[in-house]
């Protein structure tokens, strides 16, 4: 299987997923919570910008606050806030480039080379797959390090938009279940020098306090 040409950053649009209900934070708008004086969404936008051709945000409330970050903001296009897949679908529906890179708003330390490495993984696969997603090392209950899939960190081609819409409309909610349907390439982010907390996400206010620590 030959290596295909790499995907250029200009061919990728980044999407910050900030449309969740923030249930484990007491219902707050998670993307607008502060970390070191800036919102989580702002951190995500700043980390994405050097990696891609443009950035979008998926949000379902407080639109003016997100628009103040200087990027287009789009709500879910399906009702009842069914989760991150709805945000991904909205991103694919408004994506002006062939590829969409999705990241959640609550993981502000995601790799600064996320887009490039996922693009390289697709090129190495010969672009047969239309989705690449990250996995990251995690200590399991037995103390061993295992690679845990991070399917919300994915690079997906816009031609899969209709497939995702059907999946969501049929009741699908799990990102990993949908990516598995398309034979997603999974890339481990476990090189020497990769930050061990790159995929640490702030699900709770206590997690946010952990991120505040240097």
Going from N- to C-terminal start, the domains of the chain cover 9-191
Q: What is the pLDDT along the chain (214 residues), one digit of tens a residue?
A: 457 788 999 999 999 999 998 887 888 999 999 999 999 999 999 999 999 999 999 999 999 999 999 999 999 999 988 899 999 999 999 999 999 999 999 999 999 999 999 999 999 988 789 999 999 999 888 989 999 999 999 999 999 999 999 999 999 999 999 999 999 999 999 999 999 999 999 988 899 999 988 7
Whole-prediction pTM? 0.95
Q: How far apart are CA 133 and CA 125, in angstroms?
A: 13
Domain 9-191 has CATH 3.20.20.80: no
Residue 29, annotated as binding a ligand: no
Q: How far apart are CA 29 and CA 125, in angstroms?
A: 38
Residue 174, annotated as binding a ligand: no
Residue 18, annotated as binding a ligand: yes
Residue 170, annotated as binding a ligand: no
């Amino acid at each position: 299987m030959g290596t295909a040409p790499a995907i250029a950053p200009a061919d990728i649009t980044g999407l910050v997923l900030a449309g969740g209900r923030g249930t484990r934070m007491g219902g707050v708008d998670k993307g607008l919570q502060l970390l070191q004086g800036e919102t989580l969404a702002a951190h995500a936008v700043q980390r994405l910008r050097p990696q891609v051709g443009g950035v979008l945000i998926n949000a379902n409330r407080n639109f003016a606050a997100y628009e103040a970050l200087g990027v287009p903001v789009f709500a879910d296009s399906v009702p009842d806030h069914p989760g991150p897949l709805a945000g991904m679908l909205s991103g694919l529906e408004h994506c002006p480039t062939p590829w969409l890179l999705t990241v959640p708003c609550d993981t502000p330390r995601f790799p600064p080379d996320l887009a490039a490495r996922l693009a390289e993984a697709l090129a190495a696969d010969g672009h047969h797959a239309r989705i690449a997603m990250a996995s990251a090392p995690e200590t399991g209950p037995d103390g061993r390090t295992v690679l845990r899939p991070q399917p919300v960190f994915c690079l997906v081609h816009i031609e899969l938009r209709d497939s995702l819409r059907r999946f969501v409309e049929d009741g699908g909610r799990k990102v990993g279940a949908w990516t598995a349907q398309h034979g997603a390439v999974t890339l481990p982010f476990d090189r020497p020098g990769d930050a061990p907390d790159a995929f640490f996400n702030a699900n709770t206010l206590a997690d946010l306090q952990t991120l505040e620590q240097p």
